[in-house]
Amino acid sequence: MIKIEKKELDIIMHLRRNGRESITNISRETKLPISTIYERLKKNKFRAIKKTVTLIDFAKLGFNCVVKVAMKVKKEDRSLLKDHLMTHPNLNNLYKINNGFDFLVECVFNHVKEVEEFLDTLDSRFNILEKKVYYVIEELVKENFLSDPIHRDIIYHEKKLF
């Protein structure tokens, strides 16, 4: 675990709210010099920031079906299924999980029919012991953690939140 200074955390929180926010605006709001912010960003690229991405409204692009599937697979099929899922064009997120399941996969499709075809293909190719399918009706919050000053209290254990 790495230690994050409060100044770095403030910068990260601004970027979590708006990854395209200018260094000048961040400087103005945090009261840190632009050069300090630039150096901290450069330093953090190799520490806490894994990747910068654009969040997309898939429905606006015609992808109206987001599905999350928890799967339990026979041990000998886990690696093959993982490889298959990682290269699937509709994959958005893939997690190794516990509590009776091996994977949680999130995929994006145009229609429910495509989801059913995807699931049928998985069933025919791999020994899936159990699966639970969840269709996302509405995304309520996405990428919220460490985007608000209240999160500073969690990091530095300054007060109990609950």
62 & 99 share domain:
yes
Tell me how many domains the chain contains: 2
**Domain at 11, CATH number:** 1.10.10
Q: Is residue 24 part of a domain?
A: yes
Domain range spanning residue 15?
A: 6-53
67 & 105 share domain:
yes
Q: Using CB atoms within 10 A of its CB, is residue 37 exposed (0-12), middle (13-18) or buried (19+)?
A: buried
Q: Is residue 141 part of a domain?
A: no
132 & 62 share domain:
yes
99 & 62 share domain:
yes
The residue with greater pLDDT, 112 or 159, is: 112
**Domain at 110, CATH number:** 3.30.70.920
pLDDT at 122 over 80: yes
Per-residue pLDDT reduced to its tens digit, 134-148: 999 999 998 888 888
Residue 2 confidence (pLDDT): 76
Residue 159 confidence (pLDDT): 58
Q: Is residue 22 part of a domain?
A: yes
Residue 156 confidence (pLDDT): 76
37 & 102 share domain:
no
Q: What does the alpha-carbon distance between residue 55 and residue 16 come to, in Å, rounded to a whole number?
A: 11
Task: State both tokens at 80.
Answer: 């093959």
Per-residue pLDDT reduced to its tens digit, 66-115: 999 999 999 999 999 999 999 999 999 999 999 999 999 999 999 999 99
Q: Is residue 79 part of a domain?
A: yes
- Buried b or exposed e, range 103-139, using 16+ CB within 10 angstroms: bbbbbbbeeeebbeebbeebeeebebeebeeeeeeee
85 & 122 share domain:
yes
Residue 42 confidence (pLDDT): 78
- Tell me the pLDDT of the chain averaged across its residues: 90
83 & 121 share domain:
yes
130 & 67 share domain:
yes
Residue 50 confidence (pLDDT): 79
Per-residue pLDDT reduced to its tens digit, 26-75: 999 999 999 988 888 877 665 777 777 888 899 999 999 999 999 999 99
Q: Is residue 143 part of a domain?
A: no
